[in-house]
Amino acid sequence: MSAPNERKESSMSKQLTRQQYLDLYYYMRLNRAVEDTMVKLFRQNKIVGGLYSSLGQEGISVGTAYALEKNDWLAPMIRNIGALLVKGVPPRDIFTQHMAKYTSPTLGKDGTSHFGDLDKLHIVSPISMLGDLIPVMAGVAIGSRYLGQKIVTMTWIGDGGSSTGVFHEGLNFAATQKAPFVLILENNQWAYSTPVRRQVPIENLADRAKAYGIASYIVDGNDPVAVYATAKEAVDLARAGEGPILIEAKTFRRRGHAQHDPAEYVPAEQREYWEKRDPITLYEKFLTAEKILDAKGKKEIEDKINTLLEKDREFAENSPFPPPELASQGVYCTGDDCHKIRPKWERPIAEVTPPKSSVEPVWTVEGFGRGKTSSRENAPIHFGDTQPAAEEPAAKTKSVAKPATKAPARKSAPAKSAARGKARR
């Protein structure tokens, strides 16, 4: 296994197939084009919720999600549209969702990215409370392992979100259970308007993995090939039972927290430095130099994206808003009429049900041994240097009835009035 906190340097070298290189490029370009289209819709007042940009971070969402297999699970956050696209979500679902249309995955009940697909695409909806997806996806990983599925789960968190309590609680839970789970920490330098150096006293957020005894990596988030290679290695290790794993991807948030935020607090020189490191521009140069992409191939990809987005944007704009009576429907899950998702067992259920799953309720800890309580029942751990007393056979511990001894005769106490009279005499 790779050393914890291993730094993955630039990996833009020929190690993938030609199609894999082009897939990464296509999804990064599609990611940016989808967001550019939504910015125009937002300015036309057609986006009813918040809009959060991943400009400059496309390589992270695309590269990490591309490392997953079809049956693996992911849970995106607000800047992970690229991961949704890689998983198979069509742009029209993203458009209609943000426009709160009746044709959206949530039937117009949500105006941002809170939607998923538990049945086919294995996507868990984002949770607005930062960090809460970590224990959720750890639980999905553990549950899937219980069902006999060889899957890996993945979610994302920002540098600011890594300062929440649930980040640490969730990661500790995943570590103690050795969950097949990969956490991507996108260090984009800013938590809204707070720079990362004002949040934590450490240089690498990946160092936090050491507290939980798990492996971590640091990768250039603007190098999509390095991101993919790192994520693929982490996913493979997690699938083999070496999870969970933390990956810190260093990058930069080139827009404000959301469309309403001009991000004037960001130093001009910092923005200029990172704009020169645009992941799509750098990747195009690499593909061209390696003769993987030429002008003709680039135009074909652009035309394909433009045709797709024009069709899906038109569909979204022409879609109706939800009818008023829908507001009272689907508030609570009522069972099969809400969804019919069932556990998908890939192992005999008998393996995880009694008597095969029964284990003696005693924990044996090296150096402490095991013992019994005073009631002769199993105790979790026997502490101390003294060895626990051996359990005696039932025949030897059977109590023997003793012959009853005759109690001495007892005089009756005199009546209170008589006793007083005797005392007076």
Residue 157 sits in a domain whose CATH number is 3.40.50.970
User: Are 236 and 377 members of one domain?
Assistant: no
User: Are 247 and 375 members of one domain?
Assistant: no
CA distances, 211 to each of 206, 217, 235, 274 (Å):
10, 14, 21, 31
Is residue 300 over pLDDT 50?
yes
45-54, 134-143, 214-223, 224-233: least confident range: 45-54
| Amino acid, single-letter form, for residue 214 | I
d(CA 205, CA 203): 7
User: Are 375 and 263 members of one domain?
Assistant: no
* pLDDT at 370 (0 to 100): 61
In a domain, 335, yes or no: no
User: Are 320 and 358 members of one domain?
Assistant: no
Domain span including residue 316: 6-328
As a whole-number percent, the residues of the chain with pLDDT over 70 amount to 81
Going by pLDDT thresholds of 50, 70 and 90, the confidence category of residue 258 is confident
Q: What is the 3-state secondary structure (H, E, C) of 358-404?
A: CCCCCCCECCCECCECCCCCECCCCCCCCCCCCCCCCCCCCCCCCCC
pLDDT, mean of residues 314-320 = 97
Q: What is the pLDDT of residues 388-424, one digit of tens each?
A: 555 445 444 444 445 454 444 444 444 444 444 434 4
In the chain, count of helices (H) and strands (E)? 11, 8
Is residue 79 over pLDDT 70?
yes
In a domain, 176, yes or no: yes
In a domain, 403, yes or no: no
pLDDT, mean of residues 321-339 = 86
Q: What is the pLDDT of residues 346-360, one digit of tens each?
A: 999 999 888 888 877
User: Are 212 and 352 members of one domain?
Assistant: no
In a domain, 368, yes or no: yes
* pLDDT at 398 (0 to 100): 47
In a domain, 401, yes or no: no
User: Are 51 and 189 members of one domain?
Assistant: yes
Going by pLDDT thresholds of 50, 70 and 90, the confidence category of residue 208 is very high
User: Are 191 and 49 members of one domain?
Assistant: yes
pLDDT, mean of residues 355-370 = 70
Higher pLDDT, 352 or 368: 352
45: region left, alpha or beta (phi > 0 left; psi from -120 to 50 alpha): left
* pLDDT at 387 (0 to 100): 53
Mean pLDDT of the residues in the chain: 85
In a domain, 151, yes or no: yes
User: Are 207 and 83 members of one domain?
Assistant: yes
Q: Which two tokens stand for residue 323?
A: 């009818």
User: Are 367 and 222 members of one domain?
Assistant: no
User: Are 204 and 304 members of one domain?
Assistant: yes
In a domain, 391, yes or no: no
* pLDDT at 7 (0 to 100): 58
User: Are 23 and 159 members of one domain?
Assistant: yes
**Domain count for the chain:** 2
Residues in the chain, overall count: 425
* pLDDT at 189 (0 to 100): 87
User: Are 243 and 354 members of one domain?
Assistant: no
In a domain, 341, yes or no: no
Is residue 383 over pLDDT 60?
no
53-67, 85-99, 192-206: least confident range: 192-206
